[in-house]
Structure 1
């Protein structure tokens, strides 16, 4: 198999050179993916530049989020994406997730729902299934611990109060914020979401560990059940 490098493309179409001149923020998703892939391929007599491969990935999975959520087998189903390139793509997105997690060391003070969203957006937005996370706060509303307590479609049987409030007790939390994602991209709460929240709020009152809010992240945005008066 013959490989085509990005340098073989016309100079004004080379993503690397554009990145050097203008920074990564100036590049499209297609161009950033092309740099990650590094080279194109010639397969079955068909030439694919790195830009071609990036375009095919975005078209096949419909969005950058779709590419990020794809597994190894799904990636290799795209023409021109072999095992090595599938690994490059998965490694790049994994690094992004880990960098987002490092930001947790900053432990911000939570003053409004937007603060929670900004802190957890990158960790929660690309998850392929629902994840329910408990965020423990100290008396100054600073994050002291966050922990995933369930994965999968939410229902009352898998989000149990003992698991939620264990996070609070072990970490001597003054209050909690609940957080989960909707992989569908629609952050509006379901009736099950509302019922679970109200159940946990009542338990929090009995334990004198208030639940301040429940945020649902989806499609790059969020809703706050507190702001919707659903707590």
Structure 2
């Protein structure tokens, strides 16, 4: 085994952690993934973390076994029998293996379908309905109108909040959403849209039209009720493909 070079001596862009951050975990070899978990090296020949990762795989592959298959069911004593692996390194590796198993086995949560303004308002009621300051939120949806998530974009004063369309669309793209609903609250309880509300909605519709990301509605919430601007204004009539 010749992997005795220190990780610190490897060019920055070739180190396992840096490569994972820039290229993603899938780009790393198994020994490099182990090296990140190990943190440090040593063992026979004072190996680097990457070298120790290779050594572990070599030891586990004896008798023509697949080392990853062995790792799946290995116990602490078997790991610590490998030179250079003590309790700290062994427990880190075993915890990572168990976390991977649980993540693989769990079923994805069934996403709520936002079929109408009622379900959208319900998804936002905790964040917007009874707040004493204006908040502006976005509901992120996939192509089948299933809820990806919600996010408060800005928090304002008791009477106004400032938000820019670029912030909304930047977050929408970041979340991987293909449709969105925007909403804000009126702490006064009045659900009537202001001229600023209408202007912002039109700007958002224009941006959504340009980006090809349908804006399905703009809701105003307050004191247990809501209003849908899509249902009460003619703004969406200018964008028939959003119908």
Structure number with bigger Rg: 2
- Name stretches of at least 5 consecutive residues in structure 1 with no aligned partner: 1-104
Kindly indicate which of the two structures has a greater share of residues assigned to strand: 1
Give 1:196's match in structure 2, choosing from 191, 200, 225.
Answer: 200
Calculate the TM-score normalised by the size of structure 2: 0.49
CA RMSD of superposed structures (Å): 1.6
Pick aligned residue for 1:124 from 124, 128, 133: 128
1:109 alignment partner in structure 2 = 113
* 1:180 maps to 2:184: yes
Q: How many residues align?
A: 125
Q: Distance in 1 between matches of 2:181 and 2:191?
A: 16
How do 1:16-35 residues align onto structure 2 when only pairs under 5 Å count? none
Question: Does the CA-based 8 Å contact 1:136-1:167 persist in structure 2?
Answer: no
Change (3 A) 1:222 1:142: same
Deviation at 1:211, TM superposition (A): 0.6
Question: Which of 220, 225, 230 is matched with 2:224 structurally?
Answer: 220
Residue matched to 1:145:
149
2:138 and 2:124 map into 1 onto residues whose CA distance is 11
2:120/2:139 contact within 8 Å kept: no
Residues 12-71 of structure 1, C-alpha deviations (whole Å, 9 max, x = no match)? xxxxxxxxxxxxxxxxxxxxxxxxxxxxxxxxxxxxxxxxxxxxxxxxxxxxxxxxxxxx
119-128 vs 133-142, which moves further: 119-128
Which residue matches 1:167?
A: 171
1:230 offset after TM fit, Å? 4.0
SS at match of 1:133: strand
Q: Is contact 1:187–1:219 with CA below 8 Å preserved after alignment?
A: no
Structure 1 residue runs of 4+, over 4 Å off?
none
